Amino acid sequence: MTDAPDSEDGLARTPPAVAVVDAQSPGNVGTIARAMKNFGFEDLLLVDPPELDPDGEAYGFAGHAREDVLPNATEITFEELVANYHTIGCTAVTNEDDRSHVRFPFSTPADLAERLPTVEAPTVLVFGRERVGLTNEELSRIDEICTIPANEEYPVLNLGQAATVTLYELRTLTLTDEDTQIPDVERVRASEATVDRLYDQWDALLEEINHPEEKRAKTRRMLRRVYGRADLTEREANTLLGLLRRATERPAEE
């Protein structure tokens, strides 16, 4: 397992492990492994997992995680999880409050991203079953709860979605800015000469289609406003030039 980026106090932290409890579908295990690979997590723990056939859907859904995250997964018991890790149970939003607190209070993944760098103990994110999630008995043995804010009319995400959203929010624990940097692709703005040729080609097309003379000046102004807002690239302008040229040169139908 690699260390996470240094925290504010200068100490490297070990990224949280990810545990999946009693998953019914091998495909969901593969989906979670793939999300782990996407966002820099490596340590996958499986409690009562389904059979993970190397030729089956788990490996099929895992993408490049089939090469490391998934085959390196560790089977573990729930008792070992709660005994050896600071456990964070990931579950749906509930209507509970401090009078009914099996799953209250809870943090969001964004809250955890800010706070987990200060946690010294080995930490694991615990995801439950597809249909019922983690049981109340399991939740009562877990250290804290994490939940994803969602539409109150339908706040329940499926297992793969919940893991992907949570790991995305926690990617700052595993990836540096360089790891996640979007490539800086230079935008080549169309030159004034190319844009002028585009307007000239429009003039030729307006004449070719016999656009009313009294309306041409207004049409030209409109086209300049449209292209001005679009801020065309050189490639876009040349493509439009080619289309207009073909339209202008097309023989009139008899």
Residues 160-178: what's their mean pLDDT? 90
89: left (phi over 0), alpha (psi -120 to 50) or beta: beta
| C-alpha R_g of the chain | 28
Q: Are 68 and 40 in contact (CB under 8 A)?
A: no
Q: Select from 161, 163, 131, 248 the least CA-distant residue to 198.
A: 248
Amino acid at 34: R
Residue 3's pLDDT band, with cuts at 50, 70 and 90, is low
Q: Are 55 and 27 in contact (CB under 8 A)?
A: no
Residue-level pLDDT at 61: 96
What is this structure's pTM?
Answer: 0.68
Q: For the chain, give every domain's residue range.
A: 17-180, 192-249
For strands 144-146 and 44-47, give the pairing: unpaired
Residue 228, class by beta-carbon neighbours within 10 Å (0-12 exposed, 13-18 middle, 19+ buried)?
Answer: exposed
What tens digit of pLDDT does each residue of 208-247 get?
999 999 999 999 999 999 988 888 999 999 999 999 999 9
Query: Does CATH number 3.30.420.10 belong to domain 17-180?
Result: no
What tens digit of pLDDT does each residue of 90-144 get?
987 554 444 444 445 688 999 999 988 888 889 999 999 988 889 989 988 999 9
The torsion defined by the Cα of 196, 198, 204 and 205, in degrees rounded to 10, comes to -150
- pLDDT above 70 (res 6): no
What tens digit of pLDDT does each residue of 120-131 get?
889 999 999 988
Q: Are 205 and 220 in contact (CB under 8 A)?
A: no
